[in-house]
Amino acid sequence: MKSRRNFIQKSSIIGLGSGLVGSFPNFLIAKDLKNNSPNETINFGVIGCKGQGWSNMRSILKNKNTNCIALCDVDDYVLDERSSDTKKLTGKKPRLYKDYRKMLENKDIDAVVIGTPDHWHCLNLVDTLDSGKHAYCEKPLSNSIEEAYIMLEASKKSDKCVQVGQWQRSGSQYKDAIEYLSSGKLGRIRLVKSWAYMSWYGWVDTKENKETPAGIDYNMWLGPAPMRKFNENRFHFNFRWYWDYAGGLMTDWGVHEIDIALWGMKESDPISVMASGGRFGYPDQDTETPDTLQAIYQYKNFTMIWEHANGISQGNYGLPEGIAFIGSKGTLKVNRRWWQVTSEKDQRITKEFYFNDMPKTNGKGNALDKHTKNFIECIRDNNKKNLNCNLEEGSTAAINAHMGNIAFRTGKKIYWDKEKRSFNDMEADSYISPKYNNGWKLPSV
């Protein structure tokens, strides 16, 4: 009998649009787990268990021979809640940790789900790979351009699988849309639009700093970010609206949509980026990142426009989110529900439409579940090449999103030198590498 670890590393047996992860009944997961083979089970740990990290873990547990044996979070309330949730799903309580480094010492863990705030991703991932474990890392991959390159290099040096949580890559409608795009039927693509108009905002009214609540290790939560007093607005979900920890809607949703845009166009590095926006919709909210933003990216043969708005839902074509590939013969639109193609008219010669419009075609299945299943299959096959969103793809999306934020924060049109990894502008370059604090050091690979 092979050991479980040898099985995971060497076996060629393959393990096993978008519904809600929580819609899968707990008892069905628990029932299937009873049939797990202990020698073939992939044991998971989770770092950051409150939101998407837990959604990812629930999705993973839908697959046979997977288990959750460890949870790490800085908040005791979250640990208690997710420990109870895990027992309902697996029949056993996991081991609990408040320092992820201690969890990574657990040799029974084969793979780790990283669901921490953005400013922690680089440290979490590099340390996970150093500990010899596979990783599923939430998007955006990093909180800076330099971190993305460090994480990419760490992945290249490791034989472990790393799936980035840009799960739209596993959605059938995106794959079908890009296959159509590659056919050339739309003619020359001159412009790509990507956008997110999110009516949920998470109202962030001003709150006073206070003493850290019992059970929360706030210094650990801050980690490499600047030290400050505890404030509810900067904790859990709303951290994404503050530069110390994240990049606002640009990096929260932008990496999803920009990823699809660049995937379709087979492009990675822009020539230039400029952006304009501000806190126009909610100027009195206690936030830092812009609630309204437009960024224009110039690539070799096309331009891409990113735009977002918090608190409203009527985006391009009346859609709250999506990507549009605009060609000389037609436009392809794709979002989390469907894809569609509409024709242009030949204005010069025939005066007729180039082709018949294609109706909306819905995506099939649950894209997140497909994404986590793909991750598990790659672990079982020990094959990084088959990952639906690897580190190179995740880093490309993150880097482009960060560039949009840098253009906004500098107020300049910035020009990217790919070879030097520099904008050749002192102010813009100051945003490339993060400043780590509190004794934490930027990983060196």
More confident residue, 29 or 280: 280
| Structural domain includes residue 441 | no
Residue 32's pLDDT is 57
Structure tokens given for 158: 């490791």
| Structural domain includes residue 422 | yes
Dist. CA 389–CA 378, nearest whole Å: 11
The sign of the dihedral angle between the CA atoms of 178, 180, 184, 189 is negative
Residue 7's pLDDT is 32
Q: Are 412 and 295 contained in the same domain?
A: yes
pTM over 0.85: yes
When pLDDT is cut at 50, 70 and 90, the band that residue 11 belongs to is very low
Say whether pLDDT at 29 is over 90: no
Residue 228's pLDDT is 96
| Structural domain includes residue 49 | yes
Domain that holds residue 27: 4-169+368-393
Average pLDDT score over residue span 117-142: 98
294: domain CATH number? 3.30.360
Q: Cβ atoms within 10 A of the Cβ of 445, count?
A: 15
Say whether pLDDT at 21 is over 90: no
| Structural domain includes residue 66 | yes
Q: Are 73 and 97 contained in the same domain?
A: yes
Q: Are 108 and 201 contained in the same domain?
A: no
pLDDT tens digit string along 296-314? 999 999 999 999 999 999 9
Q: Are 286 and 308 contained in the same domain?
A: yes
Average pLDDT score over residue span 191-199: 97
pLDDT tens digit string along 119-131? 999 999 999 999 9
Say whether pLDDT at 218 is over 90: yes
Q: Are 274 and 408 contained in the same domain?
A: yes
| Structural domain includes residue 302 | yes
pLDDT tens digit string along 75-88? 999 999 999 999 99
Q: Are 251 and 295 contained in the same domain?
A: yes
When pLDDT is cut at 50, 70 and 90, the band that residue 25 belongs to is low
Q: Are 297 and 239 contained in the same domain?
A: yes
| Structural domain includes residue 196 | yes
Q: Are 253 and 107 contained in the same domain?
A: no
54: domain CATH number? 3.40.50.720
Q: Are 318 and 421 contained in the same domain?
A: yes
Q: Are 231 and 346 contained in the same domain?
A: no
**Tally of domains within the chain:** 3
Average pLDDT score over residue span 237-247: 96
- Complete DSSP assignment for 318-365: G-SEEEEEEESSEEEEE-SSEEEEEEPB-TTTT-SBSSPPEEEEE--S
| Structural domain includes residue 442 | no
Q: Are 22 and 80 contained in the same domain?
A: yes
Average pLDDT score over residue span 356-363: 97
How would you classify residue 317: left for phi > 0, otherwise alpha for psi between -120 and 50, otherwise beta? left
The sign of the dihedral angle between the CA atoms of 306, 59, 232, 144 is negative
Q: Are 103 and 202 contained in the same domain?
A: no
| Structural domain includes residue 268 | yes
